[in-house]
Amino acid sequence: MDESQFLTEIKHSFEASNCFAYKIPDTGNAFARFTVSKPFDMVAATPDDKFIAIEGKVQLDGFAWSVKHLRQTQRLGLARVSEKHKRAYVFLCWKSSRGSYELVIIPYKMIGSKRSFTQKELSDFAYKIPRNNKTGRYDLTPFFLWVKMGI
């Protein structure tokens, strides 16, 4: 699964919950030097109208996720939203050892100065949602409660 497909599945998952989600388009490579980098991949609103910023990443192998996968502009964009609204997240598509995909949601404020996270560390504070292989969607209902609590 690539990042574009993953973000499309996330968008459809929000829409299936009667929420707004907008995937910010990528700039074309021909003019990338002359365009402003996007601050994150997607914006969305929860059922109770909470604005959230989402950066999507795909991790198909390994036992750790490196913060180096976030570009400086992405870190800055997520940090600004996190400071103002407290709702900026990294949505990580993780391929489990069983071969199934999981959505791992990391609150940006938890990243801090860390360089990487092992699967064990992620299981301590990140939220995991299994992918429904029939629909290609994730049930975001538990995540909406997390957002409501300010996590």
Task: Report the run of H or E that residue 102 belongs to, with start and end.
Answer: strand 101-107
Whether the per-residue pLDDT at 99 is higher than 90: the answer is: no
- Point out which residues pair with 21 in neighbouring strands: 44
- Point out which residues pair with 94 in neighbouring strands: 59, 102
For the chain, give the longest Cα–Cα distance.
43
Q: What is the pLDDT of residue 20?
A: 94
**Best CATH choice for the domain 3-148 from the list 2.30.110.10, 2.170.130.30, 3.90.660.10, 3.40.1350.10:** 3.40.1350.10
What integer is the mean pLDDT of 116-129? 80
Strand duo 51-59 + 88-95: pairing: parallel
Q: Per-residue confidence at 79, pLDDT binned at 50, 70, 90? A: very high
